[in-house]
Chains A and B, each alone.
Chain A
C-alpha cells in the first residue's frame, strides 16, 4: 500500500513540476525513480525513452505506466499514471475558467495577438530540432514531402496520412533489408 502511495506522489510531483512536457520530464524522472527510490537503473531509463519514442502517446504517460507496472504491477501503473495526469487536469480546468473570465478584456486580447506570433516561432523551433534528429535518407524526404502535401491539399484526417506513411516505412524498411541480405 505504501508503495502505491509513493508511486502516486512521486509522479504527481513529476507532473506538477515539468513545464513543456516531453523530454523535459526525463531528468526529473531519472532523479526520482533511479536516485531517490532506486526503483530502476539508468539503463532502464534509456529503455523507457526508446519505448516512448516507438509507442503512441505522451512520454510522461508512457514512462509513468512503465515505471508503475515494473515497480508494483497493474495497480502501480494505474497509480503512477493517475499521479502524472492529475496536476495537469486540475490546473488546466482552473485555467479554462480563468481564460473564459478574462477573454473579453481588451489587454488580454492584445496579449494573445502577440502570443500567437510567438507561438509560431516556438513550433518552428521544435520542428527544426525534430528535423535534425530524424534519420534522413531518400525515403524520409519522400515521406516528409508526401505528409506535408497530403495534409495541406487533401481534405482527409491526418490519421490516414500517418497510417499511409507507416505503410511506406514498412515497405521501404523490408525492401532495404532484403537488398542488404543479397
Chain B
C-alpha cells in the first residue's frame, strides 16, 4: 500500500538523518529515487525549490514526494513519517536530557556519524554532477555539448558568487535560472 510505504520510507529517512538539511539528500537518493518515486533530476530541481521556500528541507521534500506520488493524503503520510521520529526522540530526550548530554554512547556514535554524513554528501554530489553533465550516461562527447558548456559556466559562477561573494542561495538560484533561460534561447537561435 502506497500510503503505508510512504510513511515507513520517510520514517526511516527521518530516524537516520543526522545534521539536518542536506544530510538528507543521500538518503532521499538511496530510498526515494531508487524506488522510482522521484527522478534524480527532479530531486536536484526540488533542492532549489526548497531553498527558495520557507521551512526545513526534510518537511518540504517529504510533502513534495508524497504529493506527486499519491496526492495530498500521500503528502500527509510522508510528512508525518519524517516528523514522527524527531518528535518521539525529543520527547524522550527532553526527560533524560542530563543523562543524554553526558552519554558516552551518544558521543561515540556521533564520532562516526558526523564524518559519515560528510562522506555521504560527497557521494551525493558526485551523483548530482553525473545527472547534470551526463544525463544520458557517461561519455566524453557529452562534455562537448552546448548544455554541458552552459552548466560549467553557471556552476563556476555560482561557486564564485556563493563562496567568494557570500550571496544567499535564493539569489544564486535566481541568477542560475536567468542564465539557464538565456542559454536555452541562445542555443535555439544559434545552433
Same complex: yes
A177 with B104, Cβ < 8 A, contacts A93-B63, A139-B111 known:
yes
Asked if B6 lies at the interface with its beta carbon under 8 angstroms from chain A, I say: no
* Bound CA–CA A146/B125 (angstroms): 16
* Bound CA–CA A56/B119 (angstroms): 17
A99 with B86, Cβ < 8 A, contacts A117-B155, A134-B114, A157-B30 known:
no
Q: Is the CB of A145 within 8 A of B124?
A: no
Q: Is the CB of A52 within 8 A of B115?
A: no
Q: Enumerate chain A interface residues (CB-CB to B < 8 A).
A: 15-22, 25, 47, 50-62, 65-66, 69-70, 74, 77-78, 81, 84-85, 87-89, 91-93, 95-96, 99-100, 106-107, 109-128, 130-131, 134-136, 139-141, 143-149, 151-152, 157-159, 161-162, 165-174, 177
**6 closest Cβ pairs, A-B complex:** A114-B180, A169-B112, A57-B86, A118-B176, A147-B119, A110-B184
Main secondary structure of the interface of A (DSSP, over half): helix
B164 CB, min distance to chain A CBs, angstroms: 11
Asked if B53 lies at the interface with its beta carbon under 8 angstroms from chain A, I say: yes
Q: Is the CB of A81 within 8 A of B83?
A: yes
* Bound CA–CA A154/B49 (angstroms): 30
Q: Is the CB of A173 within 8 A of B79?
A: no
Q: Which size class do B's interface residues fall under? A: 35 or more
- B86 interface neighbour in A61, A107, A139, Cβ under 8 Å: A61
- Minimum CB distance partner of B21 in chain A: A22
- Minimum CB distance partner of B18 in chain A: A56
- B63 interface neighbour in A89, A100, A113, Cβ under 8 Å: A89
Q: Is the CB of B119 within 8 A of A126?
A: no
B166 CB, min distance to chain A CBs, angstroms: 9
- A152 interface neighbour in B55, B57, B126, B128, Cβ under 8 Å: B126
Q: Is the CB of B20 within 8 A of A59?
A: yes
Q: Is the CB of A166 within 8 A of B19?
A: no
Q: Is the CB of A151 within 8 A of B119?
A: yes
Q: Is the CB of A55 within 8 A of B90?
A: yes
Contacts of B68 in A (CB 8 A): 96, 100
B82 CB, min distance to chain A CBs, angstroms: 8
Which of B50, B108, B119, B176 counts the most chain A CB atoms within 10 A? Answer: B119
Q: Is the CB of A117 within 8 A of B132?
A: yes
Q: Is the CB of B128 within 8 A of A19?
A: no
B126 CB, min distance to chain A CBs, angstroms: 6
* Bound CA–CA A31/B143 (angstroms): 49
* Bound CA–CA A106/B118 (angstroms): 36
* Bound CA–CA A21/B52 (angstroms): 10
Contacts of A85 in B (CB 8 A): 55, 59, 79, 83
Asked if B89 lies at the interface with its beta carbon under 8 angstroms from chain A, I say: yes
Contacts of A77 in B (CB 8 A): 87, 90-91
Q: Is the CB of A116 within 8 A of B54?
A: no
Can you list 30 A-B contacts with CB-CB less than 8 angstroms, sorted by A residue number? A21-B60, A51-B90, A56-B14, A57-B15, A57-B86, A57-B89, A61-B83, A66-B90, A77-B91, A87-B54, A107-B181, A110-B184, A111-B181, A117-B132, A117-B151, A118-B154, A118-B158, A119-B51, A119-B128, A120-B129, A122-B51, A122-B173, A127-B22, A134-B114, A147-B116, A157-B34, A162-B16, A162-B116, A165-B112, A169-B109
